[in-house]
Amino acid sequence: MTAQVVEALVHAAIKFAILVPGFVLALAALMSWIERRQSAMIQDRVGPNRASIGGVRAWGLFHIIADTLKFALKENIVPRGSNPLLFRLAPFMAMAPALIVFAVMPVGPTNRWVVSNLDVGILFIFAIGSLSVYGATIAGWSSNNNFSLLGALRVSAQMISYEVSLALNLVGVFMVFGSINLQTIIEGQGALLGGVLPKWGIVVQPVAFFLFLAASIAETKRTPFDAPEGEPELVSGYFTEYSGLALATWFLTEFAAVIMVAMMATAVFFGGWQIPWLPPTPALVATWWFQIACVMAFFAKTLFFVWVQMQLRWTLLRMRYDQIMTMGWKYILPISLANVLVTGLFLLLTR
Amino acid sequence: MALILFFVFAIAAVLSGICVAFSPFGNNPVYSAIALIMTLFFLACEFVLLHATFIAVLQILVYAGAIMVLFTFVIMLLNLSKEEIGEERLTLTKVVGLVVVLIGLTYQIGRVIWAHKVAPVTLHLTDGGPSNPAFGTIQDVGVKLFQDFLVPFEVTSILLLVAIVGAVVLAKRKI
């Protein structure tokens, strides 16, 4: 019994180490460069392309190393009058939940490709994700800075408001696929509707997909929902006082959240690891090359959604704070409630 | 394994529970709120050990993730200084609360000791799991909630509705 438990723990630890530092954090570091290059493209600038090693510029890719060095070499200032204990603790309180949620994400067809295939699946992501709000609020409060405090208040109000509609949007999907386990939902998306269309979440729940995307971008606190860190009003919101590697932690947390949103959208609405028009028969799933292809498909879809979020980030304008609240409570929430109702009626009538 | 984890989480829950009232870092409502969040989190861990994973997730989602956020929100919004909070005073409510807690604690401890005397309990290092394999899953909880406990469930939802309406009436002067 104990030997089995230890073996399972070691396996889970290895998988988590491959998925999170190997994919999520690496992609997050890459995104810090992609985001600036892409914003430069959209704004008709050149963007960061100067960092070079021995004359090789590689489109400015070495800026990732340069930035890391810069962050690491700067002083971690703890402002006078702040609460030093909570101020130092807050980045970890934000980072830990943002990385733990990846543990239930199935990136491939068998249980081998998921760290822990929990029965409660998506609810685990919501539960742990709801804890991530404390990092930002505690950071803003402990800074003892009025801009930070306002940012913290906005974060907690905004995240609480959008969590409700985020969960409600997925209820329709749960009803269609009859499960809250992510692996079961992805397997359910392998079927073909009428022999033509893949039964992906976006096909059966189109309204929920767009509301989900809006609500989850609000959860990541990025433009157009970045009022908590709106530069013209609040300097940098709740992380105004942070510097050095602590500041880098906040950026990494944000990028990890972006990747999580991309993975959720992929898994729930875009078939997860399913390759369209290639139903995963047991014989196919048993082969290693098919499993690798599925994992590749999952990561490709994830990258696509990361790109979509980057595009939105640099295309749309920042909403005013009251507009964000109005949108969350008066539009997204009632529409998602109606979506649940219509889905339930439809399922009841066609059963 | 389960027994060791039980004691780890139980001790952590009790310690953080004590920290809600007597924080080692100073008298600050934010410390108390964080300690309460930790207590709720460790309670959720205990639910997992009892094979009630759905309840455990709900515990974190609702209590630690939503209700406590509102608590911290209010604490930060008021952001009271030491002068505004005022001196610590011994009021009747506090004395009554202390007495009630002590009576409850002695009763529970006495019950456990009594039960052990009547029929000695042996602690098992591992448990065989629940007799019903579906126990604790969302399906099981749903069936229980909507068939066996439908009336309490509906009454609770009416109570919540009343609370929402009351909150709107209190918060908005002009509706």
pLDDT digits (tens, 9 = 90+) for A55-114: 777 777 888 888 888 888 988 888 887 888 888 888 888 889 888 888 888 888 877 788
Contact call for A120 and B79, based on CB within 8 A: no
| pTM to 2 decimal places | 0.85
CB contact under 8 A, B76 and A2: no
Pairing of strands A197-198, A192-193: antiparallel
User: A265 with A272: CB under 8 angstroms?
Assistant: no
- Chain B residue with minimum CA distance to A123: B57
**Is residue B58 pLDDT above 90, yes or no?**
no
Instruction: Please indicate whether, in this complex, the C-beta atoms of B54 and A2 are within 8 angstroms of each other.
Output: no
Which of B34, B57, B77 comes nearest A127 by C-beta? B57
- Tell me the average pLDDT across B111-123: 78
pLDDT winner (highest mean) among A27-31, A211-215, A274-278, B79-83: A211-215
Q: A109: how many CB neighbours lie within 10 A of its CB?
A: 26
- Mean pLDDT, to the nearest integer, of B157-168? 92
| CA separation for the pair B20, B74 (Å, rounded) | 17
Question: What is the number of domains present in chain A?
Answer: 1
The shortest C-alpha distance from B152 to chain A (Å) reads 23
Task: Tell me the nearest-neighbour CA distance from A208 into chain B, angstroms.
Answer: 21
Average pLDDT over residues A175-201: 81
How far apart, in whole angstroms, are the C-alpha atoms of residue A20 and residue A344?
A: 37
Contact check, Cβ <8 Å, B79/A149:
yes
Does the beta-carbon distance from B60 to A131 stay under 8 Å?
yes
Per-residue pLDDT tens digits for B77-92: 777 666 666 666 777 8
Torsion of CA A336, A341, A344, A350, to 10 degrees: -110
Interface test with A, best of B61, B62, B78 (most A CBs within 10 A): B61
What mean pLDDT comes out for the span B106-120?
Answer: 85
CA distance A283 to chain B (A): 29
Q: How confident is the model at residue A323 (pLDDT cuts 50, 70, 90)?
A: confident
Domain holding A106, by residue range, is 2-350
Q: Specify the higher pLDDT residue, B126 or A29.
A: A29
Residue A281: the pLDDT is 76
Of B25, B60, B72, the CB nearest to A85: B25
Q: Which residues of A touch B64 (CB under 8 A)?
A: 127, 130-131
Burial grade of B116 (CB within 10 A; 0-12, 13-18, 19 or more): exposed
Residue with tokens 């956020």: B69
- pLDDT of B126 > 60? The answer is no
**How much is the average pLDDT of B31-59?**
87
For chain B, which residues make up each domain, given as ranges? Answer: 2-136, 137-175
Task: Look at residue B157 and tell me whether its pLDDT is greater than 90.
Answer: yes
Chain A positions with Cβ closer than 8 Å to B = 1-2, 5, 83, 85-86, 118-120, 123-124, 126-131, 133-134, 137-138, 140-141, 149, 152-153, 156-157, 159-160, 163, 180
ipTM for the assembly: 0.80
**Lowest-pLDDT range, A119-123, A269-273, A280-284, A336-340?**
A280-284
Minimum distance, in Å, between the CA of residue B65 and any CA atom of chain A: 5
> A53 - beta bridge partners?
A56
Task: Specify which residues A193 forms β-bridges with.
Answer: A197
A117-146 burial code (b ≥16 CB/10 A, e <16): bbbbbbbbbbbbbbbbbbbbbbbbbbbbbe
Burial class, B21, CB count within 10 angstroms (exposed 0-12 / middle 13-18 / buried 19+): exposed
B79 CB neighbours in chain A (<8 A) are: 141, 149
AA letter at B173: R
User: Which of A85, A101, A134 is the best substitution to test chain B (most B C-beta atoms within 10 A)?
Assistant: A134
> pLDDT band at residue B129, thresholds of 50, 70 and 90?
low
> What is the distance in angstroms between the Cα of B73 and the nearest Cα belonging to chain A?
6
CATH number among 1.10.600.10, 1.20.120.1200, 1.10.760.10, 1.10.287.3510, domain B2-136:
1.20.120.1200
When scoring A2, A4, A137 by the number of chain B Cβ atoms within 10 A, the one with the most, hence best to mutate, is: A137
The CA-to-CA distance between both ends of chain B, in Å, stands at 57
Of the candidates A220, A216, A224, the one whose C-alpha atom is nearest the C-alpha of residue A155 is A220
Q: Rounded CA gap, A265 and A269, in Å?
A: 5
Q: Which of A137, A143, A133 is closest to A77 using CA atoms?
A: A143
Average pLDDT over residues B108-133: 74
Residue A31 pLDDT > 60, yes or no?
A: yes
The per-residue pLDDT for B158 is: 95
Comparing CA positions, the residue from B37, B6, B8 lying closest to residue B20 is: B37
Burial class (CB in 10 A: 0-12, 13-18, 19+), A3: exposed
In order of A53, A99, A132, A159, A228, the CA distances from A129 in angstroms are: 39, 9, 5, 10, 18
If you average pLDDT over every residue of chain A, what do you get? Answer: 84
The most confident of the ranges A18-22, A42-46, A137-141, B9-13 is B9-13
